[in-house]
Amino acid sequence: MSVIDLSALKGGLSQLPPLSLYIHFPWCVKKCPYCDFNSHEFKGATQPVVLQPAGLTPPPSRVGAGFDEMAYVDALLRDFEFSLPAVWGRPVSTIFMGGGTPSLFSPEAMDVLLAGIRARVRLHPDAEITMEANPGTFESERFRGYREAGINRLSIGIQSFDPRHLAALGRIHDGDEARRAVEIALRHFDNVNLDLMYALPQQTLAEALSDIDIALSYGISHLSAYHLTIEPNTLFAQQVPANLPDDDASADMQEAIEARLEDAGFVHYETSAFARPGRFSRHNVNYWQFGDYVGIGAGAHGKISAHDGIVREMRYKQPAAYLQAVADGEPRQRWHKVGRKDLPFEFMMNTLRLTGGFDMRLFTERTGLPVSCIQNQLQQARAQGLIEDDVAQLRPSLKGQRFLNDLLTLFLHEGED
């Protein structure tokens, strides 16, 4: 941790970054023991969602005991209207529907939601619109409906194809359902991401690579590979699983996965993200390049830039509290203007996740600060072998990727703005 050059902290943004929209769906069938996202089991749900026969979908007013999907869609649109004055005139380039489990909502509800968004803001004609889905919610006609509503990218929470590891993770699907979900997804979507996890309880290197190979066998274009992390305030934090791979075994898995995906023609473009050329997640790249995003829905976070600074926001997390807050006309629980001394850390916390780094001009463009204010930090990072840079581009070295927290700590600021 080091001191920011205070004499350089002047100016503002000369132009605004690209704008995305994040929509949070807080309900799931079952809370996974490793999950620290804002998700809530919907009331009375003890079994996986029972889907309607092919050709039918749940009634548009309800998808299951415990929540009214159309009431929530209405709240989302009212919430979005609350944000419009801060982003007026700016087009939205990507939409991401995360959770929880957005695929608990019917295609009819998603159609109403996306139509309402299009009526309120200019959406790029080729906007990337992603929805997260879990294998326990897949049924072919249902996903055809999502595609017809305008969703053009799926992100599926597979985590593993091995039933033993799925059980250890508390997932509601088995290996066969995971495979069936991928097959249905690829029947209707040509842009699909699979989430996989490694360093699972009792997992071997061969088993971790087997999950990767099964995913590759489907010809997918994007894959996210996450190390299982024990997060605070989760069930796993209260009772850590036995027989987790040690640090050396986990590092071997990470290196082997990266090598296997590189051999398959995937680009390792972000800490945990791999994609075929041209298939990077545009929504997530906007995050990592310190772009802007409106966040709506229970617990959603947002980042909005103006020429005089950057504001971060958070919505109420509990669904009932969120719905009431929207009805009261103030869905934000917290918001604050990012202090200029904190901007270098916030910028680096995102951009240094990109293995290819960033054009140094982006630092000034997205923070309004001159690069000179972080020269001391950059010099320390170079001396420790954590970054590589030339005249225009800065990127984390392989050591910097492995010890990203150590690299980011150099840009932390202590004290008052």
CATH code (residue 370): 1.10.10
**Is the domain of 238 the same as that of 355?**
no
**Is the domain of 278 the same as that of 367?**
no
**Is the domain of 111 the same as that of 221?**
yes
Which of 1-5, 83-87, 92-96, 314-318 bottoms out in mean pLDDT, i.e. has the lowest? 1-5
Mean pLDDT of 100-124: 96
Between 235 and 26, name the one with better pLDDT.
26
Whether the per-residue pLDDT at 163 is higher than 50: the answer is yes
**Is the domain of 255 the same as that of 398?**
no
From 244, 270, 285, give the residue that closes a domain.
285
Whether the per-residue pLDDT at 51 is higher than 50: the answer is no
Which of 22-31, 54-63, 231-240, 301-310 bottoms out in mean pLDDT, i.e. has the lowest? 54-63
**Is the domain of 226 the same as that of 370?**
no
Each residue of 244-268: pLDDT tens digit?
999 999 999 999 999 999 999 999 9
Q: How confident is the model at residue 102 (pLDDT cuts 50, 70, 90)?
A: very high
4 lies in a domain? no
Q: How is residue 176 written in tokens? A: 């066969």
**Is the domain of 238 the same as that of 365?**
no
338 lies in a domain? no
**Is the domain of 270 the same as that of 366?**
no
Whether the per-residue pLDDT at 5 is higher than 80: the answer is no
**Is the domain of 270 the same as that of 380?**
no
Mean pLDDT of 351-357: 96
From 267, 285, 303, give the residue that closes a domain.
285
**Predicted local distance difference test score (pLDDT) of residue 60:** 37
**Predicted local distance difference test score (pLDDT) of residue 219:** 96
User: Cα 348–351–353 angle (5° rounding)?
Assistant: 105
- Domain span holding position 374: 351-417
Mean pLDDT of 54-83: 70
Q: How confident is the model at residue 25 (pLDDT cuts 50, 70, 90)?
A: very high
**Is the domain of 269 the same as that of 368?**
no
Q: How confident is the model at residue 56 (pLDDT cuts 50, 70, 90)?
A: very low
256 lies in a domain? yes
Whether the per-residue pLDDT at 86 is higher than 80: the answer is yes
303 lies in a domain? no
- The CATH number of residue 271's host domain is 3.30.750.200
Between 168 and 54, name the one with better pLDDT.
168
As for how many domains the chain has, the answer is 2
Can you tell me the distance from the alpha carbon of 157 to that of 169, in angstroms, rounded to the nearest whole number? 12
Mean pLDDT of 290-309: 96
**Predicted local distance difference test score (pLDDT) of residue 30:** 84
Each residue of 359-411: pLDDT tens digit?
999 999 999 999 999 999 999 999 999 999 887 899 999 999 999 999 999 99
268 lies in a domain? yes
405 lies in a domain? yes
**Is the domain of 38 the same as that of 180?**
yes
Q: Are the beta carbons of 36 and 232 closer than 8 angstroms?
A: yes
For CA atoms 143, 148, 149, 150, the dihedral sign is positive
**Over the chain, what is the mean pLDDT?**
90
**Predicted local distance difference test score (pLDDT) of residue 9:** 45
**Predicted local distance difference test score (pLDDT) of residue 281:** 98
**Is the domain of 203 the same as that of 59?**
yes
pTM as predicted:
0.91
From 229, 262, 285, give the residue that closes a domain.
285
Whether the per-residue pLDDT at 318 is higher than 70: the answer is yes
**Percent of the residues in the chain that have a pLDDT greater than 90, as a whole number:** 78
12 lies in a domain? no
Sort 133 into a burial class: Cβ within 10 Å, 0-12 / 13-18 / 19+.
Answer: buried
Each residue of 171-230: pLDDT tens digit?
888 899 999 999 999 999 999 999 999 999 999 999 999 999 999 999 999 999 999 998
Q: How confident is the model at residue 140 (pLDDT cuts 50, 70, 90)?
A: confident
Mean pLDDT of 153-160: 96
Q: What is the 3-state secondary structure (H, E, C) of the chain?
A: CCCCCHHHCCCCCCCCCCEEEEEEECEECCCCCCCCCCCEECCCCCCCCCCCCCCCCCCCCCCECCECHHHHHHHHHHHHHHHHHHHCCCCEEEEEEEECCHHHCCHHHHHHHHHHHHHHCCEEEEEEEEEEECHHHCCHHHHHHHHHHCCCEEEEEEECCCHHHHHHCCCCCCHHHHHHHHHHHHHHCCCEEEEEEECCCCCCHHHHHHHHHHHHHCCCCEEEEEECCCCCCCHHHHCCCCCCCCHHHHHHHHHHHHHHHHHCCCEEEECCEEECCCCCCHHHHHHHCCCEEEEECCCCEEEEEECCEEEEEEECCCHHHHHHHHHCCCCEEEEEECCCCCHHHHHHHHHCCECCCEECHHHHHHHCCCHHHHHHHHHHHHHCCCEEECCCEEEECHHHHHCHHHHHHCCCCCCCC
Whether the per-residue pLDDT at 413 is higher than 80: the answer is no
Q: How confident is the model at residue 33 (pLDDT cuts 50, 70, 90)?
A: confident
**Is the domain of 119 the same as that of 265?**
yes
**Predicted local distance difference test score (pLDDT) of residue 84:** 97
**Predicted local distance difference test score (pLDDT) of residue 218:** 97
14 lies in a domain? no
Q: How confident is the model at residue 309 (pLDDT cuts 50, 70, 90)?
A: very high
